[in-house]
Amino acid sequence: MSEALKPVVLDHPLVRHKLTRLRDRDTSTAGFRRLTRELSLLLAYEATRNLTTCPKTVHVQSGLMEGEELDGKKLCFVSILRAGNGLLDGMLDLVPSARVGHIGLRRDHETLEVSEYYFNMPGDVPGRTCIVLDPMLATGHSAAAAITRVKAAGAQNPVFACLLAAPEGIRYMAELHPDVQVVTCAVDDRLDENGYIVPGLGDAGDRLFGTR
């Protein structure tokens, strides 16, 4: 097995500021959604860093110049339902032409194992860079299962983007998918006995959709 890629952690004052506000249990549902969208936009910049470009000649006021544009069929964002949809909006703000896939996974709260209940991907996945989205990389079971399915659909070099990651989840992902780059806003201390990230930010899905 090849050496696992090290996670990319966004080290920026705006990220730290917005993430602190996001963690605050007194932040409203509307505020949580807005902050998640803003952070996902910042995540998108880093998650798309390795996209390839090709030359593009354009007309400017002084004549012609050669610039660059994205090469190939570009991107596919893959949301792990339901909380992944909170990151999706910000990503699409940055790349509105991207295709979108969805993966529905359930986690057993006792065994922490996951099972799939929904899978829908664009037909041209092999020609696109897939960025898999979920706010949390906790145990890593859901993320790794989603990556496995995306690879089976033809994705060559998927990326996993999340707001928070736990060391346990990073290790699990590295064991199963050492070739996958994890991009996150922060790596927290640990998981608690229920598999939640500490200090974390609570249940991201409940806070996004007001079901807490």
**Binding residue positions for uracil:** 197, 202-204
Catalytic-residue membership of 206? yes
Binding site as annotated, residues: 82, 107, 134-142, 197, 202-204
Both tokens assigned to 13: 């004052």
102 with 120: CB under 8 angstroms?
Answer: yes
Radius of gyration of the chain (CA): 18
Instruction: Give the separation between CA 48 and CA 96, rounded to whole angstroms.
Output: 14
Instruction: Give the strand pairing for 129-133 and 136-137.
Output: unpaired
The token duo for 95 is: 């790349």
Candidates 203, 207, 211, 212; catalytic one: 203
Both tokens of 188, joined, read 């927290």
34, 107, 148, 179: the active-site residue: 107
Question: Is 203 annotated as catalytic?
Answer: yes
Query: Is 29 noted as a catalytic residue in this protein?
Result: no
Name the catalytic one among 111, 148, 189, 190: 111
Which residue numbers belong to the known binding site for 5-phospho-alpha-D-ribose 1-diphosphate? 82, 107, 134-142, 203
Is 148 assigned a catalytic role? Answer: no
| Residues taking part in catalysis | 107, 111, 203, 206
